[in-house]
Structure 1
Amino acid sequence: MAHFSYRGRNREGAEVNGRVEAASASMAASQLSSEGIIPVNIEQVTAAAGTEQSQKKSTQIRLFQKITLDELIMFSRQMFSLTKAGVPITRAMRGLANTVQNPLLSETLSQLADDLEKGNALSSAMRKHPKVFTELYVSIIHVGENTGQLDLAFRQMAGYLELEQQTVKQVKQATRYPMFVMIAITIAIAIINVFVIPAFKSVFDSFGGEMPWQTQVLIAISDFTVNWWHSMLAVLVLAIILFIRWKRSETGRLTWDRKKLKFPIVGPIFYRITLGRFSRTFSIVLKAGVPIEQGLSIVANAVGNSYIGQKVAGMRQGIERGESFTQTAHQAGMFSPLVMQMLAVGEETGRVDQMLEEAAGFYEQEVEYDLKNLTSAIEPILIIAIGAMVLVLALGVFLPLWELSTTING
């Protein structure tokens, strides 16, 4: 079949363009009309040119574009509505590919439609795009295909992603004020070191005399900063690059994920967020009908923390040895006694998925409460930091000026 590039208008009258695969130009026009697109111009694309153009466009898209959580939620919601209405999956993918604004998502949906037309399953096609669809997403879609409830699978993923989005927004909102204050303090210290203290130094030198040790320390730090700022900047950039490379390694990622759970103030929040994500994800997996061993493998890669993921993988090994879910959860040492009691009741009644969902709600409520109080918990630290900076300036800069003023007036 040949490839045709087209330009036309959709039902809303907006101009759209793209590519379709058909036996002839008339068949391509019929296909576009069935999708609600009125073609204005259709041209056949040669295989070589089409492949080269597609590869070039695909490379550019992958370098400069990414799919946001909002776009993935919207895609899931739209697919739920379309599949529930009985629209064929291939037609739904083609239609969404022509309407979405993100080029990367549009290209991904077009490739999914191409794979579906070749007879591949949707989950298999999605697995080829790991940067767009997580293992959890693919697994839920796979179960939905096998059970004939693909629409419900898309709805489940939309709900899960919306909860993830809500958590991300809460974290950003809670950390916005502390981050702004810390950036302001850093900028103020840099300005004082580079501009303010050197100006005072010339004043001190003109009057002569011995300066207090606090002033001498400030001047030494300022001189070092002014003379070696380029080296300090290079070291900082190098340290950031090395840290990122270390964190991306398996050992570094495991160590960092374990350490950040023990950070003062924010460590417990990270821990509860991870446990809430585990409970919510595992609940969705069990409700979808995924076997518990396979579900734990999926969740281990979806919790967003390799240290907790390692503990989840250990739970799977325990279940494979014949231990109960509650026993393996207790050995992992991740959950509070209250949640452990909830899981025990769920296992006894055969409703582990429901108990996990309630545990997820419990952790999410704790996270919401902690994030609301995060600013009030960090404020004393910020006030102390600002007070210390003012004290240093008072002792190191204004104290010599007071002494000089007393000497002149005395």
Structure 2
Amino acid sequence: MVFVVPSFSTLFATLDVPLPASTKIMINISKFVVSYWYILVGLLVTGIFGIRLWLQSAHGKRTIDSMVLRLPVVGRIMRGFLTARIARTLGILLEARVPITDALPLAREGAGNVHYAELLSRAKDAVISGKSISDGLSGSDLVNPCICEAVRNGERSGVVGRVLLEIADFMDEENQTLLRSLTSLLEPVILVILGLLVGLVAVSLFLPLFDITAMTQGSGP
């Protein structure tokens, strides 16, 4: 846009040939970028700074955390990673004989998501009121019911810490598999999009040259 397109623009102006709409759009965008690059840089810096401040606010963090969890495939992966992180943290703390009322706030600090942090707060309130961890975690769509049932069985057998660590190991393996699958799907999509963009630029720039060649050959003897 900054170096290649202006060269073609000068060439087309010298030849004085009619240009396709896509070529005109490409040239106009290039002229705007070259002429007002400082405005674009200023807007970019201001936008990044503003987004960063918004993300640091409570409203911004809650909004982003909600959006991430609702994404079709990414949301499932994030739920898996967050659940595995919490399960591992709680498992390590409980295996180290840390009281559950102290372990839940510690896990909450490292939850990494507002909604999971609130879930752990509700779980702590449930434990304080005499209920179990599984009771505090159940009823939420953030945690798979199978995980709640596994935690409940661990509580009954007195090995909830070990069960949580096993859950974390299982979910880490599942998350890695999902992540590899997502990566293998995204790579060709990204390549296709980049190919289309490069092809669009190439066609927009070289199409007038092809037209000139055809006109020259048509007007020849």
State the TM-score, normalizing by the size of structure 1: 0.50
Q: CA deviation at 1:263?
A: 4.2
Matched, 1:252 2:60: yes
CA-based RMSD: 1.8
Q: Secondary structure at the match of 2:34?
A: helix
Question: Aligned residue for 1:336?
Answer: 144
Question: What does residue range 205-220 of structure 1 map to in structure 2 within 5 Å?
Answer: 205-220=13-28
User: 2:6, 2:30 within 8 Å by CA — same for their partners in 1?
Assistant: yes
Question: Aligned residue for 1:317?
Answer: 125
User: 2:79, 2:142 within 8 Å by CA — same for their partners in 1?
Assistant: no
Structure with the bigger RCO (C-alpha within 8 Å, sep 6+) is 2
Q: 1:232 aligns with which of 31, 34, 40?
A: 40
Distance 1:287 1:306 in 2: 26
Q: CA deviation at 1:283?
A: 0.7
Matched, 1:202 2:5: no
Q: Deviations over 1:132-161 (max 9, x none)?
A: xxxxxxxxxxxxxxxxxxxxxxxxxxxxxx
What is the aligned residue count?
218
Distance 1:226 1:253 in 2: 36
Q: CA deviation at 1:253?
A: 2.0
Question: Aligned residue for 2:195?
Answer: 387
Q: CA deviation at 1:262?
A: 3.5
User: 1:260, 1:267 within 8 Å by CA — same for their partners in 2?
Assistant: yes
Q: Deviations over 1:84-120 (max 9, x none)?
A: xxxxxxxxxxxxxxxxxxxxxxxxxxxxxxxxxxxxx
Question: Alpha carbons of 1:378 and 1:371: their partners in 2 closer, same or farther (altered >3 Å)?
Answer: same
Q: 2:160 aligns with which of 348, 352, 355?
A: 352
Distance 1:317 1:202 in 2: 71
Question: Aligned residue for 1:304?
Answer: 112
Q: CA deviation at 1:215?
A: 0.6
Q: CA deviation at 1:265?
A: 4.4
User: 2:119, 2:137 within 8 Å by CA — same for their partners in 1?
Assistant: no
User: 1:265, 1:377 within 8 Å by CA — same for their partners in 2?
Assistant: no
Partner amino acid for 1:392?
A: L
Distance 2:6 2:72 in 1: 36
Distance 1:205 1:277 in 2: 61
User: 1:326, 1:344 within 8 Å by CA — same for their partners in 2?
Assistant: yes
- In the alignment, structure 2 segments of 5+ residues that lack a partner are none
Question: Aligned residue for 2:89?
Answer: 281
Q: Secondary structure at the match of 1:331?
A: coil
- Name whichever structure is richer in strand by fraction: 1
Partner amino acid for 2:67?
A: K
Q: 1:404 aligns with which of 198, 212, 216?
A: 212
User: 1:282, 1:353 within 8 Å by CA — same for their partners in 2?
Assistant: yes
User: 1:315, 1:332 within 8 Å by CA — same for their partners in 2?
Assistant: no
Distance 2:71 2:157 in 1: 38
Distance 2:5 2:108 in 1: 53
Q: CA deviation at 1:287?
A: 1.6
**Identity score, percent:** 30
- In the alignment, structure 1 segments of 5+ residues that lack a partner are 1-192
Distance 1:335 1:278 in 2: 11
